Chains A and B, each alone.
Chain A
Amino acid sequence: MQSRRDEILAKRAKLAELKRQRELRASQTTGGRPSIGSPGEIVAPTPGRNSRHDIEALINTLVGESRPGSTTGGAGSPGPRGSRPNSVLSAGELSNETSEYAIASAAGQTVAAPPAPPAPPLIMTTIPSTTVFQCPPSPVKEVFSYSKAVQTTGEWATPNRTRAHSLSDSEDLPGVTSTPNKRQSRRERDREEELRQNIRKEVEEELKAAREGPKDGAAQPESQSVNYPLRKLTDEELDAVTASDEFSGFLDKATKVIERALDQEYDVLTDYALQGQDVEDEDEDSGNTGGKGRHRVKEVAQFFDERWTKKRMISSIDFSPHFPELMLASYTKNPTAPHEPDGLVLVWSLGLHDRPEFVFHAQSDVLTAKFSPHHRNLIVGGSYSGQVLLWDTRVKSGAPVQKTPLTGYGHTHPIYSVDIVGTQNANNIISCSTDGVVCGWSMEVFAQPQELLELKAPPAYKIEDVSPTSMAFPQADPTFFLVGSEEGSIFPCHRYDRAGAKAGIDTRFSYKGHTAPVMSVDFHPARGPVDLGDLVLSSSLDWSVRLWKVRAPAATSTAGNEGAVSPLLDFVREDVVYDAKWSPIKPGVFALVDGAGWLELWDITVETEEPVARISPSARKDGRAMLSKSLNKLAWEPTEGKRLATGGIDGTLTVFEVASGLGGRDDLKAEEWTNVKKLVNRVEAVGVNGAMMV
Chain B
Amino acid sequence: MVDPISISGHDALDEKLTRLSKKPGVKATVVLDRATGAILRTNGQLSNLISTAAAALKSPTDGGSFSSEAGATQNGESHGFEEFTRKVWTWVNASGGLVEEFDTEDELKLLRLRTKKQELVIVPDAKYLLILVHDTPPA
Contacts and interface: CB of A to CB of B under 8 A. Distances in A.
Interface in B106-139: 110, 112, 114, 121, 123, 125, 127-128, 130, 132, 134, 136-137, 139
Contacts of B67: none
Contacts of A243: 9-10
B23 A354 contact: yes
Nearest to B15: A307
A421 B79 CA distance: 62
Contact of A255 (B5, B20, B139): B20
B130 A258 contact: yes
Contact of B36 (A229, A261, A269, A336): A229
Q: Give chain A's interface residue range (CB within 8 Å of chain B).
A: 35 or more
B128 A247 contact: yes
B10 to A, nearest CB: 7
Interface stretch (A83-91, A230-238, A613-621): A230-238
Nearest to A308: B3
A340 B86 contact: no
A573 to B, nearest CB: 35
Interface in B15-38: 16-17, 19-20, 23, 25-26, 31, 33, 36-38
Given A229-B38, A230-B37, A252 B16 contact: yes
Contacts of B110: 257, 261
Nearest to A243: B9
Given A231-B38, A261-B110, A251 B16 contact: yes
Interface in B77-122: 82-83, 85-86, 89, 110, 112, 114, 121
Given A242-B13, A251-B13, A262-B121, A229 B130 contact: no
Contact of B125 (A230, A250, A267, A310): A250
Contacts of A340: 1, 3, 5
A339 B128 CA distance: 33
A533 interface: no
A626 interface: no
Contact of B37 (A228, A238, A246, A337): A228
B123 A228 contact: no
A233 B121 CA distance: 24
B139 A269 contact: yes
Contacts of B36: 229-231
Report which residue of B10, B25, B31 has the largest number of chain A beta carbons within 10 angstroms of its beta carbon.
B31
Contacts of B20: 255, 258-259
A339 B19 contact: no
B39 interface: yes
Nearest to B26: A262
Nearest to B114: A269
B40 interface: yes
Nearest to A341: B5
B72 interface: no
A504 to B, nearest CB: 42
A355 B5 contact: no
A242 B112 contact: no
Contacts of B114: 269
A554 interface: no
Contact of B130 (A228, A250, A341): A250
A251 B3 contact: no
B139 A251 contact: no
A334 interface: yes
A228 B82 contact: yes
A339 B20 CA distance: 25
A242 B10 CA distance: 7
Contacts of B136: 267, 269
Given A246-B127, A258-B123, A261-B110, A337 B3 contact: yes
A250 B19 contact: no
Given A242-B10, A248-B12, A337-B1, A255 B19 contact: yes
Contact of B3 (A230, A246, A259, A307): A307
A230 B89 CA distance: 12
A310 B1 contact: yes
A336 B1 contact: yes
A257 B123 contact: yes
B41 A339 contact: no
Contacts of B82: 228-229
A339 B112 CA distance: 40
Contacts of B139: 267, 269-271, 275
A572 interface: no
B128 A250 contact: yes
B40 A242 contact: yes
Contacts of B25: 262
A337 B3 CA distance: 8
A341 B39 CA distance: 35
A255 B83 CA distance: 23
B4 interface: yes
Contacts of B86: 225, 228-229
Contact of A229 (B37, B123, B127): B37
Contacts of A258: 20, 121, 123, 130, 132
A207 interface: no
Contacts of A247: 13, 40, 127-128
Given A229-B36, A246-B127, A251-B130, A261 B121 contact: yes
Given A261-B121, A269-B114, A269-B139, A241 B16 contact: no
B137 A254 contact: no
Interface in A213-237: 225, 228-233
A270 B114 CA distance: 12
A311 interface: yes
A247 B38 CA distance: 14
B40 A354 contact: no
A251 B12 CA distance: 10
Given A242-B10, A251-B13, A259 B1 contact: no
Contacts of B9: 243
Contacts of A242: 10, 13, 40-41
Contacts of B85: 229
Contacts of A341: 5
Contacts of B137: 267
B48 to A, nearest CB: 19
Given A233-B38, A267-B137, A337-B1, A259 B33 contact: no
Contacts of A232: 38
B112 A261 contact: yes
A254 B9 CA distance: 17
A30 B137 CA distance: 97
B114 to A, nearest CB: 6
Contacts of B31: 251
Given A228-B37, A231-B36, A261-B112, A255 B121 contact: no
Nearest to A261: B121
A271 B132 CA distance: 24
A259 B19 CA distance: 9
13 contacts: A230-B36, A242-B40, A250-B130, A251-B13, A251-B16, A251-B17, A254-B128, A255-B130, A262-B25, A310-B1, A337-B3, A354-B19, A354-B23
Sorted nearest first, the 10 A-B pairs with minimum C-beta distance are: A254-B123, A254-B130, A337-B1, A339-B5, A228-B86, A230-B36, A229-B38, A229-B37, A255-B16, A250-B128
Given A251-B128, A336-B1, A340-B1, 12 more contacts: A225-B83, A229-B86, A231-B36, A231-B38, A233-B39, A252-B16, A255-B20, A258-B132, A267-B136, A310-B1, A339-B4, A340-B3
